[in-house]
Amino acid sequence: MDVTSATPPTLAAGAGAGAGPNASRRPAPPAARATPAREHLIEGFLFLCGALSILTTLGILIVLGYETAGFFSEVSFGQFFGDTEWTPLFADKHFGIWALVSGTVLTSAIAITVALPFGLLSAIYLSELAPRQTRRVLKPLMELLAGVPTIVYGFFALSVVTPALQTVIPELAGFNALGAGIVMGVMIIPMISSLSEDALHAVPQSLREAAWGLGGSRLAGIFQVVLPAARSGVAAAITLALSRAIGETMIVAIAAGQQPRFTFDPRVPVETMTAYIVQISMGDVPAGTLEFRTVFAVGAALFLMTFAMNLFAQRLAKKYRRLG
């Protein structure tokens, strides 16, 4: 999940860097005298770079689709979508995906509840209120948070955050959605904050001046003019962060437990879709069996969820662009 979301900017940067030195080597040749063979070679290479990521995605989709079809030849849609128990490894097998979906939705909802206010407010502070010097120091520091390996976050959730929460909520289980969700929220704060800050920073200064010129205070200008003008970027930041939370694996696998159950109680152990995939992939379930194929069915469901969300985000951005 994180690999896919990180790929496009990297690729774009790579393509730009590739074109740069090459262009400077030949000082301004007239277009007609450019060597066609060489141009074609470069063009072909760049096309390959772009095609590679598309082909990889296609390959994943094909495997996912094939194995998922295999799964559904043995398990009906009714069993998959009409049940709330997920016990494919037990003698009494149930394949109710909602037990895993609820775990994912619950932990992600907690994460976004934590990350949205902190991320957005810190973006507003950095872009609109902080002195330039402060911003120059704080923004990279904030982004450092994104570089912490998720295994560290997961262990932190399990061994620090959950015990701390237990002093306030005594009935909190050792593995629970709350601690994992909160820490996941902290993990995605820099994502929301950094991307929203970019969006806020891109709002033309003339709009701020217009707001101030009308007698608006700094805060009124921020909330009535700057934030609305940046809303498509902010919406994109939130969606990306949410995608990241839904796809996050290590924190929830370590700290949220491995007990699929259909619940929205944040105090008890749950299992997310990603954590289930980890559990099967690391266990001794033989490949090719039905139990093994559940991984692909869960993966497909996960893919559909994030895909739908990205689609939604794109439509949102498009709508706002039209208005803007």
Partner 1 sequence: MNTPAANGRFEVTDLDAWFSKKQVLKHVELALPARRITAIIGPSGCGKSTFIRCLNRMHELVPEARLAGRVLLDGADIYAPGVDPVLLRRRVGMVFQKPNPFPTMSIRDNVLAGLRLTGAYDRGRADSVVETALRGAALWDEVKDRLDEPGVGLSGGQQQRLCIARTLAVEPEVVLMDEPCSALDPIATARIEDLMSELKARYTLVIVTHNMQQAARVSDRTAFFLDGELIEVAETNSLFTSPQDRRTEDYITGKFG
* CA 193 centroid distance within chain: 14
- Least spacing, CB of residue 104 vs partner 1, in Å: 33
Q: Does 210 interact with partner 1 (rule: CB under 8 A)?
A: yes
Taking CB under 8 A as the rule, does residue 202 contact partner 1? no
Query: Within 13 Å of residue 239, how many CA atoms lie on the same side as its CB?
Result: 20
Cα 142 from Cα 124, distance rounded (Å): 14
Which of 93, 231, 261, 267 binds partner 1 (CB under 8 A)? It is: 231
Q: What is the dihedral of CA 110, 116, 122, 127, to 10 degrees?
A: 160
Q: Is the C-alpha dihedral spanning 164, 169, 172, 176 positive or negative?
A: negative
Q: Which is nearer to partner 1, 26 or 319 (CB)?
A: 319
Q: Which of 181, 221, 247, 257 binds partner 1 (CB under 8 A)?
A: 221
> If binding is defined by CB under 8 A, does position 211 make contact with partner 1?
yes
Residues 122-141 that bind partner 1 (CB under 8 A): 131-132
Q: How many residues bind partner 1 (CB under 8 A)?
A: 24
CB proximity list for 98: less than 8 A, separation 6 or greater: 81, 83, 84, 262
Nearer to partner 1, 24 or 206 (CB): 206
User: Is residue 316 close enough to count as binding partner 1 by CB under 8 A?
Assistant: no
Among 42-50, 141-149, 213-221, 248-256, which window interacts with partner 1 (CB under 8 A)? 213-221
DSSP secondary structure of 184-225: HHHHHHHHHHHHHHHHHHTS-HHHHHHHHHTT--HHHHIIII
Which residue number, 221 or 257, has a Cβ lying nearer to partner 1? 221
Residues 10-69 that bind partner 1 (CB under 8 A): none
Which residue from 16, 30, 170, 215 is in contact with partner 1, where contact means CB under 8 A? 215
Q: Given the rule CB under 8 A, which of 76-84, 139-147, 207-215, 271-279 is the region that contacts partner 1?
A: 207-215
Q: Is 91 in the site for partner 1 (CB under 8 A)?
A: no
Collapsing DSSP to helix, strand or coil, 286 comes out as coil
Q: Indicate the helix (H) or strand (E) that contains 238.
A: helix 231-247
How far lies 185's CA from each of 120, 182, 235, 246, in Å? Answer: 13, 5, 17, 11
Told to check if 282 binds partner 1 by CB under 8 A, we report no
Q: Would you say 19 or 210 has its CB closer to partner 1?
A: 210
**Binds partner 1 (CB under 8 A): choice among 1, 155, 201, 228:** 228
- State the Cα–Cα distance between residues 186 and 135, nearest whole angstrom: 20
* Residue 258 CA, distance from chain mean position: 22
> Counting contacts by CB under 8 A, is residue 233 touching partner 1?
no
Q: How far is the CB of 195 from partner 1 (least distance, A)?
A: 19
Residue 217 in the binding site for partner 1 (CB under 8 A): yes
In the bound state with partner 1, the residue whose beta carbon lies nearer, of 9 and 131, is 131
Residue 212 touching partner 1 (CB under 8 A): yes
The answer to whether 247 and 111 are in contact (CB under 8 A) is no
Measured from the CB atom, the residue of 38 and 218 that comes closer to partner 1 is 218
DSSP-derived letter for residue 285 is P
Shortest Å, Cβ 215 to partner 1: 3
Closest CA to 276 of 254, 298, 291: 298
Cβ atoms of 276 and 183 within 8 Å: the answer is no
Query: Which residues of the shown chain bind partner 1 in the complex (CB under 8 A)?
Result: 131-132, 204, 206-207, 209-217, 220-221, 224-225, 228-229, 231, 320, 323-324
